[in-house]
Amino acid sequence: MKQVILITGISSGFGKEISKLLAEKGHIVYGSIRSECKVEPGVKTVFIELTAPKTIADAVQKIIDTEGRIDVLINNAGMHSGGPFEDTPDEIIRQQMDTNYFGWINAMKAVIPHMRKQGGGKIINISSIGGLTGMPFQGVYSASKFAIEAVSAAMRAEIRPFNIKMVVVNPGDFKTRNVETRIVSIAENSPYKEQFEKTLRIFERDETNGEDPVLLAKTISKIVNKKNPKQRYIVGSLIQKMAVYIKRIIPESIFNRLIANHYGIKY
């Protein structure tokens, strides 16, 4: 069934592949951009700056005025930060939360009244495996994803009586532009400098050798078409899926040691 879909952030990575596949499947796809860029055939664009709530409200109203409904919201756009927590400036922490948390909150607040009025809909929040476990030297980014995990769980119960489904997707490492776009904070004489540079190389290696974003796009397409999707989808390599499962069954201290060891940190 053809659905009206709004996905945030379609200029590259996940958003680009998701918008392309959903348009190919015959859906009416609107993707948000912040500046002019090439988009996939069949994808319509709206301007959204996640840190400017009015742009979100205006974009949603534009789609409602044109299509009369929004069946699916896919929260995808965001920013990535990295560096020692102690070295990360307050303005970067605020920007991270304004983008990855408050921006998504405002998008959900904008679409839910319309979904409620039309009798239902789906919200798909693309979180991260980093939203299920804190990643060393990505603590600020993980915090933004943990926040989305919490609000998604709370909202799920609130909006379910209105036939609005809340789905969280947790990708592992994928070949996106994270390596290029990550905002890195490190003080000139930081005591963490040597360790951070070592761990950053591991981050970048894992991302460069990660899964193809098409894999995530196919998962999102299945969720869109399911009448009753699962509440959570873990998407990534077998070892990353196993890590999520292992975290649930072994002592936290042991799991934290495993994570530290993976990132070259003596624990």
Burial of 172 (0-12, 13-18, 19+ CB in 10 A): buried
**Amino acid, single-letter form, for residue 207:** E
> Rounded to an integer, what distance in angstroms lies between the CA atom of residue 217 and that of residue 18?
4
143 CB-near residues (< 8 Å, 6+ apart): 96, 97, 134
Q: Which residue bears the tokens 């933004």?
A: 144
> Rounded to an integer, what distance in angstroms lies between the CA atom of residue 105 and that of residue 98?
10
- Give the catalytic positions in this structure: 11, 127, 141, 145
> Rounded to an integer, what distance in angstroms lies between the CA atom of residue 156 and that of residue 229?
13
